Amino acid sequence: MLGFGIIKGLAETWRNFIGSYYDPARLTTVQYPEQKLPPNENARTIPFLVFDGEDPMAGLRCTACSICAQECPAHCIEIVKDTTKKPDYLGKMQFYPKVFNIDMGVCMACGICAEVCPFDSIKMDRVFELSSHDRGMVLQKSDLAKPNDYFREIHPTEAAAVDAARAEEQRKAEAKKAANPVLAKS
Amino acid sequence: MKGLDQIFISTQHALAGLAPAPLQPLVSMVLIIACLMSVFGACFALTTILERKTLGRMQNRFGPNRVGPFGLLQPMADGIKMIIKEDIVPFSADHALHFLAPLVLTVPIWLAFSVLPFGRNMTAVELDAGILFFFAIGSASELAVFMAGWSSQNKYSLVGAMRAVAQMISYEVPLVLSSVPVLMAAGSLSLSDIVQAQSGCALGWLPHWNVFTPWGLAGFALFLIAAAAESNRCPFDLPEGESELIAGYLTEYSGFKYALFFLGEYLGLFAVTGLAVTLFLGGWQAPAAWLEWVPSWGWFAVKFSAIIFLAIWIRATLPRLRMDQLLNFAWKFLVPLALINLLVAVAWLKTGTWRFPAAAEVRWLLGASVLAIAYVCLGRHWNGPAPRPRQYSYAE
């Protein structure tokens, strides 16, 4: 009959009205600046540079190969190669970036740079409170560098895989060096 | 308690007495106007925040809770936002009408408050035909809405305005028809007389309010439905149905003009709610003699807030009607039911002379059963035959 559905609906809203004061489980709202949800492991926002060891500038994994800069659809990565070489984790001599800038105002967080990086140097971060009062959103090398421990903390699964692969490569390089010292010297 | 009951009247007399004698009528007029505008302006601000919070709670949300304690300063923030917004007038709009429409909407609604009795002796203007004045002035809002829609030179505004006018004209009929029995019972068009006619008790315990008679109960429900439609409240808010019309006739309004429309809508709701309290809930009368220590304006405020809460509750519950359902509902359900209600009221008033035992109960049952049968029969067919189940030729 006309009106029964309305009465049922009114009863439902009334239960919500009273219940939301007594049963906090009904209120699913997360009051953001005060409350935050636990971060999701798969969250990927903006790129950052991983470094090993203590010193960010010495331990940077990046070899200034510029693959990320070329692949970047938004052309927001600017890399200037240093003139000198330094040995990497395998003992090979590699170039290092003198300048590594990412314009976060242009970056669209697609993650292509992290996918194409052959040195596991550029990875996606999890920070999301990025709004700023000025346009100073060009992050320098020093702003982007974050320790490997941070990477392990935010993406444990991926970091463990990367660490295992790098340890394996390192072990192979050691074994090769031990087997053929002449080749290793050159 | 006499002093508290008449505190506004005595304050007004005292303040007007300070002015020189020739100016006294003018001063007391200004005092009344200022009082009405500030009280109902504050009421508007309070209702917006309480409505948003109640709606939130009814949808298991918090509602606004950031500005001030419990979010109670939210209306201030809204007001400041509305005032500092740019007031854009479309290039091709009719500038004069576009400017006038919000004023034409709000001014008559303020005038409508002048005849409502808010408490004992608390009527701004004692008109003999108060209710007539109220309905006459209330229908000016249709003009304002159409002015707004037409002058905006925007198809959404125009469609919204046409919908609004069709809706308001349709629902004006049941609104007036459902209040006619009250006039017959009171034998007067003056709202103060209508309140006086509802004083005392029936059967020794039931207040003699119109809502406790079968025709009064049905009339009250009809009046509230029609009032919701008149003030464009949910579920009859399709003149501004944002899913299909952006904001209806409000589309091209911004800044303070938009705020004026918003204000007008809420004031319309307040005015018609005040009228519902006066006509059906005994106005400012206390429900029982031992409760008369509460001032009369307090009782008015309690009943008034209860109906406002009901309006918010209904808004939280019901979805919007479709346009054809809306008009069918007015013309095929509300109007016939209001006419039958009128007949029931006539029978009720004519049988007032019955003097056998339990006459009151018999009258009540008779009236209620006639209305219930009419409700069931009309409620079955008001929206045409039920649609056949859809046949899908290719989707099987």
**pLDDT tens digit string along B240-255?**
767 777 777 888 888 8
Cα distance between residue B105 and residue B140, in whole Å: 7
In the prediction, which pLDDT does A11 show?
92
Q: What is the rounded average pLDDT of the residues A88-110?
A: 86
Mean pLDDT, chain B, integer = 86
In the prediction, which pLDDT does B119 show?
82
* A19-28, B160-169, B239-248: the lowest-pLDDT one: B239-248
Q: Do A6 and B376 touch (CB under 8 A)?
A: no
- Residues of B with a Cβ under 8 Å from any A Cβ are 54, 57-62, 65, 313-314, 316-318, 333, 375-376, 379-380, 382
Between B8 and B275, residue with greater pLDDT: B275
In the prediction, which pLDDT does B203 show?
67
Q: Do A29 and B59 touch (CB under 8 A)?
A: no
* A-interface mutation test, from B58, B321, B381, most A Cβ less than 10 A away: B58
**Does residue A35 register a pLDDT over 80?**
yes
**Does residue B306 register a pLDDT over 90?**
yes
* A90-94, A156-160, B127-131, B136-140: the lowest-pLDDT one: A90-94
Q: Hey, how many other C-beta atoms are within 10 angstroms of the C-beta on B263?
A: 22
DSSP summary character for residue A37 = P
Residue of B nearest to A5 (CA): B318
Task: Name residue B280's amino acid.
Answer: F
How big, in percent rounded to 5, are the helix, strand and coil portions of chain A?
Answer: 40, 20, 40
In the prediction, which pLDDT does A73 show?
92
In the prediction, which pLDDT does B328 show?
87
Helix, strand, or coil (residue A19):
helix
All residues of chain A having their beta carbon less than 8 Å from the beta carbon of residue B54 are: 17
Q: Hey, how many other C-beta atoms are within 10 angstroms of the C-beta on A170?
A: 13
Nearest chain B CA: its distance from A29 CA (Å): 6
Q: Do B317 and A16 touch (CB under 8 A)?
A: no
In the prediction, which pLDDT does B343 show?
92
Cα distance between residue A147 and residue A51, in whole Å: 5
In the prediction, which pLDDT does A183 show?
59
For chain B, the C-alpha Rg in angstroms (whole number) is 23
**Does residue B96 register a pLDDT over 80?**
yes
Question: What is the domain partition of chain B in residue ranges?
Answer: 7-84, 88-328
In the prediction, which pLDDT does B342 show?
92
Domains defined along chain A, listed by start: 47-185 (3.30.70.3270)
Confidence of residue B239 (pLDDT cuts 50, 70, 90): confident
* B96-100, B283-287, B337-341: the lowest-pLDDT one: B283-287
pLDDT tens sequence across B254-267: 888 888 888 888 99
Q: What is the 3-state secondary structure (H, E, C) of chain B?
A: CHHHHCHHHHHHHHHHHCCCHHHHHHHHHHHHHHHHHHHHHHHHHHHHHHHHHHHHHHCCCCCCCCCCHHHCCHHHHHHHHHHHCCCCCCCCCCHHHHHHHHHHHHHHHHHHHHHCCCCCCCCCCCCCCHHHHHHHHHCHHHHHHHHHHHHCCCHHHHHHHHHHHHHHHHHHHHHHHHHHHHHHHHCCCCHHHHHHHCCCEECCCEECCHHHCHHHHHHHHHHHHHHHHHCCCCCCCHHHCHHHHCCHHHCCCCHHHHHHHHHHHHHHHHHHHHHHHHHHCCCCCCCCHHHCCCCHHHHHHHHHHHHHHHHHHHHHHCCCCCHHHHHHHHHHHHHHHHHHHHHHHHHHHHHHHCCCCCHHHHHHHHHHHHHHHHHHHHHHHCCCCCCCCCCCCCCC
Q: What is the rounded average pLDDT of the residues B10-15?
A: 80
Mean pLDDT, chain A, integer = 86
- Enter the pTM of the model: 0.81
Cis status of the peptide bond prior to B235, with omega within 30 of 0 = yes
Confidence of residue A182 (pLDDT cuts 50, 70, 90): low
* A-interface mutation test, from B50, B52, B54, B60, most A Cβ less than 10 A away: B60
* A138-152, B158-172, B331-345, B382-396: the lowest-pLDDT one: B382-396
Helix, strand, or coil (residue A120):
coil
Contacts of B365 (CB under 8 A, 6+ apart): none
State phi, psi for A153 to the nearest 5 degrees: -75, -45
Q: Is the dihedral of CA B88, B90, B91, B93 positive or negative?
A: negative
Q: Do A29 and B57 touch (CB under 8 A)?
A: no
Cα distance between residue B187 and residue B197, in whole Å: 9
**Does residue A126 register a pLDDT over 70?**
yes
**Does residue A84 register a pLDDT over 60?**
yes
Cα distance between residue A123 and residue A166, in whole Å: 15
Long-range interactions of B136-140: CB distance < 8 A, separation 24+: B137/B108, B137/B109, B137/B111, B137/B112, B138/B108, B138/B109, B138/B112, B138/B230, B138/B268, B138/B271, B138/B272, B139/B168, B139/B172, B140/B104, B140/B108
**Does residue B340 register a pLDDT over 90?**
yes
Q: Do B317 and A6 touch (CB under 8 A)?
A: yes
Nearest chain B CA: its distance from A24 CA (Å): 9
